[in-house]
Amino acid sequence: MIQSVTEKEVETYNERGYVVPGIQLSADRIQDWMQPSND
């Protein structure tokens, strides 16, 4: 499940420059997508 992000998170991801379809995310979030946790 894709979680929405706050504007602050989006800014952080934009700074890191990781790009995911239509959204820029941090490597950590990409890892979460590839390996979803049961948290």
Taking the whole predicted model, whether its pTM rises above 0.75 is answered as no
Structural domain count of the chain: 1
What DSSP letter does each residue of 1-39 carry, written as one string? -PPP--HHHHHHHHHHT-EETTEE--HHHHHHHHS----
What pLDDT, on the 0 to 100 scale, is given for residue 25? 57
Per-residue model confidence as pLDDT tens digits over 4-32: 666 776 666 666 666 555 555 566 666 67
Residue 15's domain comprises: 1-39
Is 25 exposed, middle or buried (CB count within 10 Å of its CB: 0-12, 13-18, 19+)? buried
Query: Which residues are bridge partners to 31 per DSSP?
Result: none
For the record, the structure tokens of 28 come out as 């950590």
What pLDDT, on the 0 to 100 scale, is given for residue 12? 64
What pLDDT, on the 0 to 100 scale, is given for residue 2? 61
Query: Within 13 A of 18's CA, how many CA atoms are on the CB side?
Result: 12
